[in-house]
Structure 1
Amino acid sequence: MSEAHSALSIATAGEGAVPGRRHEIAVKVLTVLLALFLGAASGLPKLFRAEAAVEAFDKIGWGDWFMYAVGSLEVLGALALLVPILSGAAALAFIGLMIGATVFNLTVLDAPQAVLTTAILTVVLGYIAWSRRTHTTQLLRRLRP
Structure 2
Amino acid sequence: MSEQTAPARSTTARVGDIALWVAQVALAAYFVYSGYLLFGDDFVQKFEEIGFGQWLRYLTGTLEIAGALGLLVPRLCGLAALGLVGVMAGAVGTELFLLAKGDATLPLILLAAAAVIAFLRRDTIRALLAQLAPDRFGK
TM-score of the pair, normalised by structure 2:
0.84
Aligned residue in 1 for 2:51: 61
Deviations 1:85-132 (A, max 9, x none): 11111111111111110111011223443x221221122112111111
- Separation of aligned partners in 2, 1:139 and 1:111: 40
**Structure 1 counterpart of 2:12, from 2, 13, 19:** 19
Q: Tell me how far 1:39 sits from its aligned partner.
A: 1.4
Task: Report SS of the residue matched to 1:56.
Answer: helix
Matching of residue 91 in structure 1 with residue 81 in structure 2: yes
Task: Report SS of the residue matched to 2:100.
Answer: coil
Q: Tell me how far 1:80 sits from its aligned partner.
A: 0.8
Aligned residue in 1 for 2:41: 50
Structure index of larger Rg: 1
Aligned residue in 1 for 2:66: 76
TM-score of the pair, normalised by structure 1:
0.81
Q: Which runs of 4+ in 1 moved over 6 A?
A: none
- Separation of aligned partners in 2, 1:108 and 1:66: 14
Higher helix share: 1
Corresponding pairs, count: 128
Identity level (%): 37
- Separation of aligned partners in 2, 1:36 and 1:27: 14
RMSD across aligned positions (CA): 1.9
- Separation of aligned partners in 2, 1:110 and 1:92: 28
User: Gaps (5+ residues) in structure 2?
Assistant: 1-6, 135-139
Q: Which amino acid aligns with 2:10?
A: A
Deviations 1:46-85 (A, max 9, x none): 12x232x111111111111111011111111111111111
